[in-house]
Amino acid sequence: MAGSCSSATMAKFNVGSVLVTGSNRGIGLGLVKRFLELPNPPEWIFATTRELDGSQSKEVMELALKHPNLVVLQLDVTDPNSIKAAMQRVEEHVKGHGLNLLINNAGILWVTTMENENIETMETVYLTNTVGPLLVSQEFLPLLKKAAQQSTQTGLSCSKAAIVNMSSVAGSIKVVPVWEFEQIPSYRCSKAALNMITRCQSLEYKDYGILCTSIHPGWVKTRMGTEMALQTVKQTTQEILKLLSTFSEKENGSFVGWDGQIYPW
């Protein structure tokens, strides 16, 4: 279980470089903060935001002024040109070392029902939550491969090379939680499909030494999770980092909760 991870494991958690999409607020920003707080913080932390200017990115931009290892980049997961430009900026920074950890965190939830779901809602949510992580992973694959090739570690781990897709238990076909509270078919379908992307990635990228997994972060107090949620961003992101520090072959192609629980597809 993630909660039982020792501080010794965290002290050994040594990720050379990490990129988190959608990290101007919410869980993404929390993850960036937790990486900065590690005993061995990454040499490079790439926080990405849709808009570099404007109030949405103020906090992460201010954080970058205090931490030279934090680089804020523009990245819209639905825009291939923007993803490519971000990859090129990462390449310039890591200078031949590759990227160790890609966290596909960006996501949207439109409050829809079986009655009002339509082409636009289904397409937009799918494009952001499912196609986006696929495109970002494809673009960063050469850098992830490079990191895996250069690592002296055996087996799979987040310190070596990994893709972590931020999923949701809402996408579990077996559980289909809180249906009476919120239907959100487009969101559920997009996360179920994202889990399939994780499974496909895990089969295709294992031999390159890249670990691929889906995470459910819990119900978290963010703009998406609302104030009614059970967990704070700080609690959740602390637990997620502990979890990442323990991941090995066992978690490749699996669907793991913030508390270490394995979820059914």
Ligand X SMILES: NC(=O)c1ccc[n+]([C@@H]2O[C@H](COP(=O)([O-])OP(=O)(O)OC[C@H]3O[C@@H](n4cnc5c(N)ncnc54)[C@H](OP(=O)(O)O)[C@@H]3O)[C@@H](O)[C@H]2O)c1
Residues of this chain that interact with ligand X (CB under 6 A) are: 21-22, 24-28, 50, 56, 75-78, 105-108, 128, 132, 166, 168, 216-217, 219-220, 222-225, 229
Adjacent-strand bridge partners of 166: 215
Q: How far apart are CA 93 and CA 88, in angstroms?
A: 9
Instruction: Taking the CA atoms of 69, 70, 74 and 77 in sequence, report the sign of the dihedral they define.
Output: positive
Q: How far apart are CA 196 and CA 190, in angstroms?
A: 10
For the CB of residue 8, give the shortest distance to ligand X in the complex, in Å.
29
Q: Which residues contact 194 (CB under 8 A, 6 or more apart)?
A: 129, 130, 133, 165, 167, 171, 214
Distances (CA, A) of 65 to 60, 215, 245: 9, 30, 27
Distances (CA, A) of 248 to 46, 62, 258: 23, 34, 16
